[in-house]
Amino acid sequence: MESKVWGYCRCSTNELKQDVQYQIDALMDKGLDVSNIRYEYISGRKEHRPVLDALFEEMNEGDTLIVTDITRLCRNTKVLCEIIDLIIAKKFRLIVGSIDIDCRNGSLDPMIEAMLKVNGVFGELEAKNKRFQIKLGLASAVSKGKKLGRPTTSYNDIPKIFMQYYPKYKNGSLNKMAFARVTQLSYPTIYKYLGIVENSK
């Protein structure tokens, strides 16, 4: 069976906040067919990523997996070590940025393995530092009397552009996607405003 080259992309939050397209573009620049690229929106700290897990099941011995950098693969050193063990056991080739981890002979160069794990440790450290800084910022805000959480939106807060096109949505002239496009509001915002309007009746 001819070996395949796969790509994997990941962002921590959904496509409305982060976009994996730049990762997809980078993989396609390396010659990957878009049909062989998988992506998902999930935290890199999670031990199990459904799309990545399914991809590892789909891959065959001798196949290659390419990711743009180690943090896209995971931000958990324990999980990274498990992935390295799996790649060795299944005789895959993993390319992380410019690092070529070729385990198709069932082994891995110790220096490359060490380099990969060091990068993984720094990726996990970066994520932990971000969470720590956010925690400090929230604690500081609370100490200054600020109320945390999203501000409550009332009927009067709904912009005029929404109300202008709302009748067309109600009579079926616009679906939610078109409603979002003509008002230049995000899909979640449209849902939120629709809930407020409907509950106010």
Residue matched to tokens 């709302």: 166
**How far is C-alpha 77 from the geometric centre of its chain's CA atoms?**
18
Catalytic residue among 3, 12, 143, 173: 12
Is 12 a known active-site residue? Answer: yes
| Number of neighbours of residue 134 by Cβ within 10 angstroms | 10
Buried b (16+ CB within 10 A) or exposed e, 27-65: beeeebeeebbbbbbbebebeebeebeebbeebeeebbb
Q: Which of 160, 149, 27, 143 is nearest to 96 (CA)?
A: 27
Q: Catalytic amino acids?
A: 12
